[in-house]
A and B are shown apart, each in its own frame.
Chain A
């Protein structure tokens, strides 16, 4: 520990901190542009200059380590004068076009110029102008505004792991650009917009659409992947204008994936805003709620409970699944499943479907085995965490599956799944690596569990966990990486086949054979709707996607931004998404739709408000009582031993930008698909 004085205040900080970090601990704020606590230190903006006694010149506090007995003045005349000078130089080449700049109102340069800027400039020469660069469909560039802090370059290189951004030229002619002006091929590229302290990099889809002070801000949870990243939803009127990350050290730090950030325009298109009933002519016809419920009632009257089934989708909140489960039980059906892809996790054993070590646990791991998972596309922010661990060194990463570009180096152990059994019986060299590690972990992807032999692979992974010491005191390195935000919540409320009930495969097979006559799809779009056969399909959801096209009755629900809903992320963290805007038209919150339907069917559910429902849910599963925290799962037996087919994996995410009904409706995501997935091939002469 080192003792030093900052603005007359004695502080004691660890020896390797810098002055700016020590000042932060002491509660003293120092202005900065280039310094960012999650990026390497550049020290090139000079805004954080402070006066240090016995030092002949002002010192850049972000790059100067503390020393014993140092006396620092952050608000002395000398420090202020130095910052005024820096600000004057920064503003020489800055266009001062704040009135037409999207960053206006939330701009670091604007804010700090209020404190350190002069009310007039002394510079009389011409300002420089810089050509704007192409950085793809998400990041808009106005490079004349750039102050060369290089935060974006450091983010791309260090966090995102794509070395595509750089600073060319030197001095006044320095320019930030991607190599040959290609789009930034990262699933985290939107974060450079947040990092940019000026308006040089701004959000392209959000350009010129709103000012920060006219937006209504709602703190919520993202559902585009299973991480449950903390987000802030900015809305104006009935429209979600943008989604920004919030700080949550245990989940997303302060990053957000591009889909979570930019798929929000999909909430405006393809929405179900009225109930529909399929008429005699085979076409869906607008109806009232009463007509839709009556149609369902008429059908269900003549169908026995076991001939009814329900499937829930990837974006569904725990409350509505809980309500639907109660309804299905009262109808006498045990055919319910929240695993649209048929993932072979054991709903009865919570440890079999959680990311047990926790997302932050990745930073402690020293050996990581990734099996059939593509974390870069399945959970980009989690992948950044693995990369962060990789950059710190002393970690062994092994991959079973395709040799994908994960932004870090790893040992490619095998392409095919049967290699896992070799690790399980100890005949593979990586088994020893896991055994020698202090905190080893395995990450199982959905490509593993949704295979036909998923249960056998799960058993083999369980065996790896037991034989290689993945589970020990205070450490459980058995991790399942989900792709669906609603999955863990669904399993936690028990939205899985009851006694004698059928799972997703069973339901679809029976429906195709006509054994199941009514299928209730709660936001389930990722199934093969052709397999539903002649079944009467009720679709409840927010987008006119695959499920709604097949449906006989459509019940318009609310998207995640339009309801208060509980989601449990892949590590088992119970979090709540809050309502930012109201659902469009006649659409209602999903739990309320199920409750109203139950009344019509004469099976009235025992709750009249969301609070009552949540109380019932807490009784059914106490983990829902602990909001924003993880309840550790018991390590109990699971998995069914069996033979593993020597085949590769079929990864669930083929196109990162379109994985669910919201992102499929999003125009921004369509542009990204064209640019990154189709490689710009779709461009024809008519495109700009």
Chain B
């Protein structure tokens, strides 16, 4: 991770489109009077959804809406890495390269993306359609390796499936999110490898035998205590 700063080139202005303004109003209304500043994160997210990234004028507008100082909004926007401070592509590809994903071949996925899109990590294609980024653990290790595109997780990807996803996106299709190798959620690929039999009831304990053993031990102890000391 590097120092997060506002982008050099910024649009002149920002305003929420009517449908986003409506959602912002609903979000702000959730918080009690005088605590509107609590809505800063959802509003930044809303601005990012509208513009694709968090712009400087957006920070000013949100600060004004929530009656906060601009620096306070900037602090939040720079603290959380999921707020994009630079323009990203329409399809923002975030490949996880943390340990589990790397062990399962995320390097090949990254390489495939670079090759297919002709851009490096942290860059955007000239047509503004794609941008590529490596991210820290996105919490889908059981389906490693994975990449997040927009709001969707694409799991169990490899170089081939990643190329297919990018091709589909280029054609304007909406590729199916989730595991790309036929897995259902995080269930194993193919047949089950464990718990394959019908579950059997747990064996019942023989209470009568247990009671007999207990009584015998008790009697032995009593006999031993009663025996004259030698």
Contacts and interface: CB of A to CB of B under 8 A. Distances in A.
Interface in B64-79: 68-72, 74-75, 78-79
A32 B69 CA distance: 29
B1 interface: yes
Given A168-B78, A170-B79, A163 B4 contact: no
Interface stretch (A101-109, A173-181, A466-474, A479-487): A173-181
B38 to A, nearest CB: 17
Given A167-B75, A168-B75, A168-B78, A173 B3 contact: yes
B191 interface: no
Contacts of A173: 1-4
A680 to B, nearest CB: 19
A163 B71 contact: yes
A306 interface: no
Contacts of A167: 75
A163 B69 CA distance: 6
Contacts of B69: 163-164, 166, 179
Nearest to B4: A169
Interface of A: 130, 163-171, 173, 175, 178-180
Contacts of A164: 69, 71
Contact of B78 (A163, A169, A180): A169
Interface in B29-47: none
Given A168-B78, A169-B78, A179 B71 contact: yes
Contacts of A178: 71
A610 to B, nearest CB: 51
A314 B171 CA distance: 78
A130 to B, nearest CB: 8
A164 B71 CA distance: 6
5 contacts: A165-B71, A168-B75, A169-B3, A169-B4, A170-B79
Interface of B: 1-6, 56, 68-72, 74-75, 78-79
B199 to A, nearest CB: 43
Contacts of B74: 166, 168, 179
Nearest to B59: A179
A166 B3 contact: no
A175 B3 contact: yes
Given A170-B78, A171-B1, 18 more contacts: A130-B3, A163-B68, A163-B71, A164-B69, A164-B71, A166-B71, A166-B74, A168-B4, A168-B74, A168-B75, A168-B79, A169-B3, A169-B78, A173-B1, A173-B2, A179-B69, A179-B71, A180-B56
B93 to A, nearest CB: 23
Contacts of B78: 168-170
Rank and list the top 7 A-B pairs by shortest CB-CB distance, nearest first: A163-B69, A166-B71, A168-B78, A179-B71, A166-B75, A173-B3, A179-B70
A74 B72 CA distance: 36
Contacts of B6: 180
A157 to B, nearest CB: 8
Nearest to A157: B69
A180 B71 CA distance: 8
Contacts of A171: 1
Contacts of A163: 68-69, 71-72
